[in-house]
Amino acid sequence: MNLKYLYALIITAAIFATAFYIANRFNQSRIADIRATQEAVSVDILSLETQFELLGNLDCQAISDNPVLSDELNSLASRLSVAEQNLGANNAEVISLKKQYSLLEIKDYILMREISQKCTKLKPVYILYFYSNSGDCADCNKMGDVLTYLRQTYPGLRVYSFDYHLDLSALRTLVTLRKIDGAKGLPAFVVNNKAPVYGFKTLQEMQKLIPELKTLATSTPIQ
Amino acid sequence: MDIGTVGVYCSFFLALYFEVFLLISFFEKKPAAKTSSRPARYPMAAVLVPCWNKAATLGPTIESLLALDYPKDKLSIVIIDDGSTDNTYEEALKFAHHPQVTVFQKQNEGSKYSALNYGLAKTESELVGCLDADSFVAPDALLEIVKHFEVDPQTMAVAPAMKVHRPHNVLELMQTVEYTFGIFYKKMFDNIGAISVLPGPFSFYRRSLFDQIGGFRKAYHTEDMEMAFRMQSHGLKIANVHTALVYTNVPSSLGALVRQRTRWSRGFLENSKDYSYMYFNPKYGHFGLLVLPFGLSAFLLALYVAGFTLYNLLSLVLNKVFILYATGIPLGLPASYKVDWLYLNTDMMLFVTAAVLMFTFVAIAIGSRIAETRLGLKHLAAYFVLFGLVAPLWLARATWDTVLSRERGWLV
């Protein structure tokens, strides 16, 4: 009689272990996929940089018509967010991926600035957004929602999101260069080359802060 | 992982453990197929039909009893009108001319047990069964039961396999699957000697049982459950005869269903309290070690999981509404959906839930095979979508009533 209780316990524990294993495998696949995408984006950026250096100029029309890189970065951001939810923000692999992602964002940002200087007709609108997951930014979720909405509404808008507390020297340099002071409160963001703005802003306030948005095409009618 | 989620994992572990245990029991002893053999002897049998305001269904119930494949001189039908306020008594009198049928009328005493004891006193038959006046028996149901009593002299009471009679609406379809699931686990409880209820529709008892442990008790309007608990406490054997089929009408409205199930759930809680000495007591076998503790755990954990889910759902919705309000983002659907597994939440909970659902499905499929119930997609959809939503209603209500010691009466 007692053996049946033991067998049931072993089988149930085995089912739970299998569920844990499958979930782990899915997470590993997710990580591998993100890493592969990041490598692809990295190669794209390197290719664009090389072209830029070789020719000293580019086909400006091709760049303005082809926001592939931006799409890839946005897709990476969503995948990283899901991985962070599943594995936790303190997971070593998630942190490593976030660092790599931040580096790609910085490289894309620098490249876009250089390209826009050469291609004068190109007037990119970009936001450097600094958030925190460390419990010191109550409004970061709301701000993230506003920026996500803006990015979906204006596909030409480039939003570069950075975890302010991420231990990455390149990010620290960017923070210093753009004079972001976390002590003044997060979220913080920089629109194009303007001065940093601190605190949560509603959608309407963001639209007032970034009049350049009117120059960008929209994917859906603005409400 | 937060403490709330840990609680949900514990609940799922217990649910899965219980299902696995029953499946092991199934593979140890599979239910035997129906045979065409007949009993060597036909003992005197009486069927008590207590009825309160059952004028609409009493006729077909009695007709199904009269159509039983059993010697007419060996079977008597005792109708007890329990103070109905409709024309149940007049309906009963329509059968009074039949030599097998006797009709009695008594004053209602607020619970079914008194009608059963009243009927019990009116018969001397060797086997005594009962049948709710909204249920209908298969012609060979009594034969199957008698065969079992003959084969196993130790068996003191027998429960049949209950099926839903002509389900139409979505709640009835849901209950069809629930009853099919019930056929599986009642058979498995039989395998481990731990049946916990002798339902009103066509449970049968040896007459000597009542001499030994007494008649029915009020037992919070769940005399069928209390009788099974009392039998288990005396070490008396209860069997499930899956080949004896009974069809019963089930509540078709949410209100009636919640009232009926509140009564059952309340009965379980109160009887559990009265028989608490049986919990975790090896003296009472699997009934004390498994069925009672798991029944109570399932009751409480189902409430917990429902509360946890409701809390999370409300938090999510309120948070979303607050964010929409605070951010000024217009309400609308996303511009595009990306179907990609990478965006799915594939944490352990997903796979554990899938395992619990899969085992439930297997149990239902076995129950369906045992009782030859045909289940379609609409039955399964009704069950898997609705049951988790409505069951917490009666569990919460029964808990509330128990805490407040509130008397609701025999409502259904």
Is A146 within 8 Å of chain B by CB? yes
Pairing state between β B204-206 and B127-130? antiparallel
Is A203 within 8 Å of chain B by CB? yes
Residue A61's pLDDT is what? 61
Q: Where are the alpha helices (DSSP H) in B139-249?
A: 141-151, 170-191, 207-213, 223-233
* Contacts with A26 from chain B: Cβ below 8 Å: 341, 346
* Contacts with A75 from chain B: Cβ below 8 Å: 338
Is B331 within 8 Å of chain A by CB? no
Is B358 within 8 Å of chain A by CB? no
Residue B334's pLDDT is what? 53
CB contact under 8 A, A23 and B16: no
| Cβ under 8 Å to A: B residues 367-406 | none
Is B60 within 8 Å of chain A by CB? no
SS3 sequence, chain A?
CHHHHHHHHHHHHHHHHHHHHHHHHHHHHHHHHHHHHHHHHHHHHHHHHHHHHHHCCCCHHHHHHCCHHHHHHHHHHHHHHHHHHHHCCCCHHHHHHHHHHHHHHHHHHHHHHHHHHHCCCCCCEEEEEEECCCCCCCCHHHHHHHHHHHHHHCCCEEEEEEECCCCCHHHHHHHHHCCCCHHHCCCEEEECCCCCEECCCCHHHHHHHCHHHHHCCCCCCCC
Residue A97's pLDDT is what? 84
Q: What are phi and psi of B206, to 5 degrees?
A: -75, 140
A220: distance to nearest CA of chain B, Å?
Answer: 7
Candidates B24, B326, B351; nearest CB to A8 = B24
Is A28 within 8 Å of chain B by CB? no
B223: distance to nearest CA of chain A, Å?
Answer: 30
Residue B412's pLDDT is what? 43
Closest residue in B to A86 (Cα–Cα): B347
Mean pLDDT by 10 residues, chain A (223 residues): 86 95 88 80 73 63 56 73 76 84 86 77 83 86 88 84 91 91 88 88 89 72 47
CB contact under 8 A, B352 and A79: no
ipTM metric: 0.81
CB contact under 8 A, A8 and B21: yes
The answer to whether the bond into A187 is cis (omega within 30° of 0) is yes
Closest residue in B to A82 (Cα–Cα): B343
Candidates A33, A79, A142; nearest CB to B327 = A142
**From first to last of its 412 residues, what are the pLDDT tens digits of chain B?**
677 888 888 889 999 999 999 999 999 888 888 888 999 999 999 999 999 999 999 999 999 999 999 999 999 999 999 999 999 999 999 999 999 999 999 988 878 999 999 999 999 999 999 999 999 999 999 999 999 999 999 999 999 999 999 999 999 999 999 999 999 989 999 999 999 999 989 999 999 999 999 999 999 889 999 999 999 999 999 999 999 999 999 999 999 999 999 999 999 999 999 999 999 999 999 999 999 999 999 999 999 999 999 999 999 899 888 888 888 887 765 545 555 666 667 788 889 999 999 999 999 999 999 988 889 999 999 999 999 999 999 999 999 998 888 776 654 4
Quick one: B8 exposed, middle or buried, by C-beta within 10 A (0-12, 13-18, 19+)? buried
Residue B311's pLDDT is what? 92
* pTM score: 0.79
SS3 sequence, A104-144?
HHHHHHHHHHHHHHHCCCCCCEEEEEEECCCCCCCCHHHHH
CB contact under 8 A, B352 and A19: yes
Residue A17's pLDDT is what? 95
